[in-house]
Every structure is written in structure tokens, then in C-alpha cells.
Amino acid sequence: MNESPVVRLEKDGEIGVIIVNYPPVNALGSGVSDGIIDALNRANADPAIKAMVLMGEGRSFIAGADIRGFGTGRKRPPLGQRTYDVLDASPKPVVAAIHGYALGGGLENALACHYRIAVPSAKVGLPEVLIGILPGGGGTQRLPRVVGAQAALELITSGRHVPAPEAAGLGIIDEVLPANANLRAAAVAYARKIADIRPLPRVRDRNVTAEPAVFDAVRKSIARKARNQKAPYSCIAAVEAACTLPFDEGIRRESELFAELENADEAKALRYAFFAEREVAKLPDLPPDIKPCNFAAPAVVGAGTMGGGIAMAFADFGYDVKIMDAAQDALDRGMERIRANYATSVKRGSLAEDERLRRLGRIHPVAGYDDISDCDVVIEAVFERMDVKKPVFEKLDQVLKPDAFLFSNTSALDMDELAAVTKRPERVAGTHFFSPANVMKLLEVVRPSKASPETLMTAMALGRRIGKISAMAGNTDGFVANRSRAPFNSEMVILLEEGCLPEQVDKVMVDFGYPMGPFAVGDLAGLDVGAEGRKRRALANPNYRKLPIADKLVEMGRYGQKTGAGWYRYEKGDRTPHPDPEVAAIIRSVAAGMGVPQRTFTDTEILHRLLFSSVNEACRILEEGKAYRASDIDVMWLHGFGFPRYRGGLMYWADGIGVKSVYAQIAAWHQQYGDRWAPSRLLRELAETGTPFREAKPAPFA
């Protein structure tokens, strides 16, 4: 049999080295598993070979099954004929030599090997739950036998990546090599050392038990996050099987549970989200040879909540960052807020004290523009008003080096107008962070008309380098995320005019899968913030649909949590939202004053009123060429607004309803409510042709 093109067997003396080479991440795609089996069989049949090493070429060990193959009706090899079985049956020891990632089926192969060694930078994990399935290659049976049920449950239900040193502490990795070790040479030496050890140490021969209470406790601990999902619970059931059934029966149970998940809606949506998050980095209309610039000296101007969060985001990813505010008291308050944020993380146990000090040490407060003249990328994050931002941009343009990038954190203002006050419009772009900037993963990169491709690529890369998911947005009021969200924000208040209550709307959205209802989120962000934006839009657009109920609350000083009352009432020191009869009375009185007929609503109508209004606006954004793809808008909703990931994203979810049904409902509301529900042209065209939202062809980027 010819050697597989993606797996080869080489010999280093009496050690057979099996090398997987299936770029970009050595997923177990076409022929890889067969290639590993063939190489193992040939090595076992070769009397000159005493032991084997299994390793990956390029970036990684093995990153798991090829997710692109899921849901395609692929045939999995029958139980007993998979790589894990051949490894289990191998009469010669196999050492897994790990660099980069050993994830999913990659780690499962490593666990079926007899030994595992890794370079310190390697990461291992069973992330299947993140794509709506479970480790289907024996991971739910072998991992508990290595680390125990409790640790296995945490790793499998979280799907997190485990750094090699931690994995060694758990017993997953037998030896972590020195940082500069040559992995292949070290693995061959290790294989020589253990070649004659018998009996072969097979994970499947170990036992694991656990009290039933362990599983009940995990089910309880994940209930809030995993609400409406199936995969996390199937993971727990599979680990339970490892603790209650003989190994082979446990494998069969795992296989049954896996089969129930692969083609379920949850897995399809999560796979969609996975690939959408990779697609969003691709800028199809920019020259492919243009590369992003490196930057080493970022600065943030404005030490408010956003500026401080952005500085933390840089520091969290190892950058020394200057934070500048011309007002010393604002700078001091900003640094105080940063110190308090890090201290809270340490108190919560999510940040080690030494790491807190390292991160804090990377943030350098400065008071003058001259102090940042050496910086190569500056993000402006001052108050959200053009007459405040323009002078800052003018000053920065004067003091910065000619090739420095000038970015703004504005959430809606015209980036062309800001770029026009500089002599470097080609080096200007928007980098819109979401609050809290050091936590939220979305970075919306806004594309002014004069920005060079290099500037856009650098802004997108900046997000990735500080752990964000960057998504490109056209320069339109509200850009893409907030613009597509705006009708949702109006519709939720208009529903109150018609007879809904905040708590009813919030319950619908939490039941749908949001972590918090939109009214509770408003109270968290501050109702005064939204009021600023409404005022600006009302001035700019005489037809702007005012929201008297929301305006009334702000007039009364009910800004939300920060004033102890907003849409809800709050007890001192408690952030729990309590329905407030005073708000119900305000709603009734304003609605009566507007003469709006009152009625009751089904949960589905509330959900569709909010989300369909945004689907319609998203279609307008696409038809105007302000976003590359419908899936980019989904990525923004997942990472900017907490849209439930197991529903794929706003447009993916709408496709589940069907473009024709969405159009028909919007057309009906257009008759009932007037222009704010006028269907967009693209929506009408998609409905006429039956084209899914995800396949919409947007206009060229404008």
C-alpha cells in the first residue's frame, strides 16, 4: 500500500516516527486517520522498529476531527477500527509528541498512546462541546481515567485549552520538555527509554469511579450557561458511563450520545459560528499581498471607562501601553478604576496576584500629548461628541510621527469627518470596542473612505493581537453592530407603549438564551448614555421615532443601576433588578397620553418584533455595502451583544424561521405600523428568490 500523502513513517534508528502533515492544523481530515493506522500497522510489522513516536508537522500536533466534514453524512469507521483501537492493540509503545495543539481527536489519539510528552507552549483540550458535540473518540472514557471524573467533567464541559505545564500537573502529559528542546529528538530519545517497558501502560486499563453527587453538582453548575443546550449534558452522561461501565461499553455509550448530537440544530449552529468567526477576518476586496504593520507602542487617549478598558486590553496581552488624559484628575480616576478592576479579578480568583502586578506595570499614565509622540498606534477614546473628538484628532495629528496610526473608539460618529481634520486620512480608521473593552471580544473596525488597505489590515490585526475578534464595518451612522441593533432598542420600548412590561420582554429574551434581558442591560449601561444618542438622531432626522417612555425615565433621573432605579428598582448594594410599579405607572400614563391602544403579546411576537426589526436593518446594511457578509453581522451579534451562540447568530437564526416568513411578517407590520417596518429591498429580493440570508450577496464594500 503506498504511503499516505498526509501521514508518513520515518525511522530514527529503531524508532518509527509517524508524522502527520495536513495543513493548516493537522485536522483529522481526508486520509489522515487511515494514514495513521497504516503507519502504525507498518511500524508494528517491522521487526527493526521497537517503539514509535506520533507527531505533527507544521503548526500543530493534531487539532481534532475535520469539522468541515460534520453534518455531511460522512461515514465514521466502525467502533474497533479507529486509530484509538489500533493504538490500544499496538504491541509496541507509542509516544505522542505534542507541540501547538492537541485538541479533540488529537488529544484522544494522544490519550490512546502509551506516553505523552510536550513542549511547554503546547495546549491540549477536548473542545467538542463548543461546537455542540462531545469527544467522540474515547475522550470521555480515557480522560477521566487519567485525571479523575471531577477534573474531566470540568475540562470536557468547558472545552478549554490546557497549557502543557497544567496538563502535566493533571497527569495528561508525562513530560514537559525544556523550552528550546528539539521535539523530535526528545521524543525519539524518550521512545528509546521506554521501548522495553512491559506491560504497556494503556489508559483504557485504568479504572475511575465517582459518586453520583459529582455529576449532579456539575449539572447544576452548568444549568444557567447551558440552558436550552443538550451537548453539555451529554458530555456529563458520557463521563458518568466511564465511571459506571466497563471501558468498551462506555465507548459504545459515548458513540450513541455522539450520534445524537452531530446533526442536531445546536451543533449545526455552533459549527456555523466557528467558521463565521474565521471568515470575518477575510477582507476579500483588499490586495492579498498587503500585510498589517506591527506596532510596539500603543497609546490610548482618554482615561474614562472605555479608555481604561482599552488600556487593560493591551496590557492583558503583554503590550506596554500609555494612557493619556490632559486632565490630571481624570487620569488619576482612570488609573484608580483600572487598579480596582484588576483587584476585583484577583478577588474573584480569575487573575493571579503576580499577573495583576505585571499587567498594571504595563499601563503608563501620562498627562501630555508630547508624552505619546513616540507611539505608533493611538486610540482616541474621549467623550462621544464630535466637537470634543476633533480637537483631539488635530492635536494628535500634529504631535505623532507621520506613519503613526490614528484610530478612534467612537461607537457611531462619522469617521470620514474625523479623518478630514488630519493630514493623514489614509492612516485613520475606527476601532470600536464594546464595553467593558477588556472583556468583550468584538472589535468593530470602521472603514473611512480614505483609509489605506495597510491601515485597515493593521486595525483588524490589532484586534486579533489583543484577543479580540475583528469585524469590518462601513462608515455609516452606528456602523454595523449598533446600527443593526438600533431598531431592536426602539422596538423594545415601543412594545411598552402597546402594553408590555420590561420584565415580560426581558423574560422572553432570557428564555431565548441571552444572559440578561435588554432592559436589565440598559440599566447596567446607563439610560442616560442611550438618551444622548437619541437626542443626536432626533436633531439629525426630523422623522426620528422618539421614545417618550425612555426619555421620561431619564428626565426623572432614573439612569439605572448607577442611580438605584431605571427600568427596574435596585436595593442598595444589590444589582438584582426588581420590577417597579412606578415604572408600570409611568408606562401606562405615557401610553395613555399617546393614545396607544393597549393589548397583550405572545412571547413569540415579542421575540420577533425585536429580532426581525434588526434582521431588516441588517439587510439594509448589506445592500448598502457596509458589511462584507451576513455572517459578519452574526459574529458581531455573538460577540457584541451576547446573542446565544448555540443559535448561530441573528441572520443564521432568521434563516431557521425562513426568509419568506420573515418578509411576510415584516410586510404585515409595515401595513400596521408604517414606515419603520418598511421591508428593505434586499429582504424583498431574498424572499422573492427564496435565498437564505446567509447567502445574500452584499453590494461591494462602500
Q: Which residues are known catalytic residues?
A: 108, 128
In this structure, the number of other CB atoms found within 10 A of the CB of residue 220 comes to: 9
Q: What's the CA gap between 670 and 664, in Å, rounded?
A: 10
466 is a site residue for ligand T1G (CB under 6 A): no
Q: What's the CA gap between 446 and 423, in Å, rounded?
A: 19
Tell me which residue has its CB nearest to ligand T1G: 104
CB of 99 to ligand T1G, least distance (A): 12
In this structure, what is the dihedral angle of CA atoms 52, 56, 57, 62, given to the nearest 10 degrees? 160
Place of cell 525511522: 11
CB of 251 to ligand T1G, least distance (A): 12
DSSP labels, 228-272: T-SHHHHHHHHHHHHHHS-HHHHHHHHHHHHHHHTTSHHHHHHHH
CA atoms within 13 A on the CB side of 22: 26
Please choose, out of 65-73, 210-218, 416-424, 508-516, the segment that lies near ligand T1G by the rule CB under 6 A: 65-73
Mask of contacts with ligand T1G, 7-26, x by CB under 6 A?
-----------------xx-
Helices 481-497 and 603-623 cross at an angle (nearest 10°) of 150
66 is a site residue for ligand T1G (CB under 6 A): yes
Q: Do residues 500 and 508 touch, judged by C-beta distance below 8 A?
A: no
144 is a site residue for ligand T1G (CB under 6 A): no
- Interacting residue with ligand T1G among 95, 97, 103, 619 (CB under 6 A): 103
Which 23-52 residues touch ligand T1G, going by CB under 6 A? Answer: 24-25, 27
> How many residues bind to ligand T1G according to rule CB under 6 A?
24
- Interacting residue with ligand T1G among 9, 98, 131, 618 (CB under 6 A): 131
CB of 49 to ligand T1G, least distance (A): 27
CB of 67 to ligand T1G, least distance (A): 4
The sign one gets for the Cα dihedral 393, 396, 400, 404 is negative
CA atoms within 13 A on the CB side of 277: 21
Pairing of strands 578-579, 568-569: antiparallel
135 is a site residue for ligand T1G (CB under 6 A): yes
- Interacting residue with ligand T1G among 16, 56, 93, 127 (CB under 6 A): 127
Mask of contacts with ligand T1G, 265-294, x by CB under 6 A?
----------x--x----------------
302 is a site residue for ligand T1G (CB under 6 A): no
Q: Do residues 230 and 143 touch, judged by C-beta distance below 8 A?
A: no
- Interacting residue with ligand T1G among 16, 56, 93, 104 (CB under 6 A): 104
566 is a site residue for ligand T1G (CB under 6 A): no
Q: Do residues 149 and 242 touch, judged by C-beta distance below 8 A?
A: yes
139 is a site residue for ligand T1G (CB under 6 A): yes
Choose between 65 and 505: whose C-beta lies nearer to ligand T1G. Answer: 65
User: Bridge partners of 53?
Assistant: 17, 95
**Quick one: which of 294, 535, 302 has its CA closest to 410?**
302
- Interacting residue with ligand T1G among 68, 206, 358, 697 (CB under 6 A): 68
CB of 461 to ligand T1G, least distance (A): 13
Q: Kindly list the residues in this chain that would bind ligand T1G in the complex (CB under 6 A).
A: 24-25, 27, 63-68, 101, 103-105, 108, 127-128, 131, 133, 135-137, 139, 275, 278
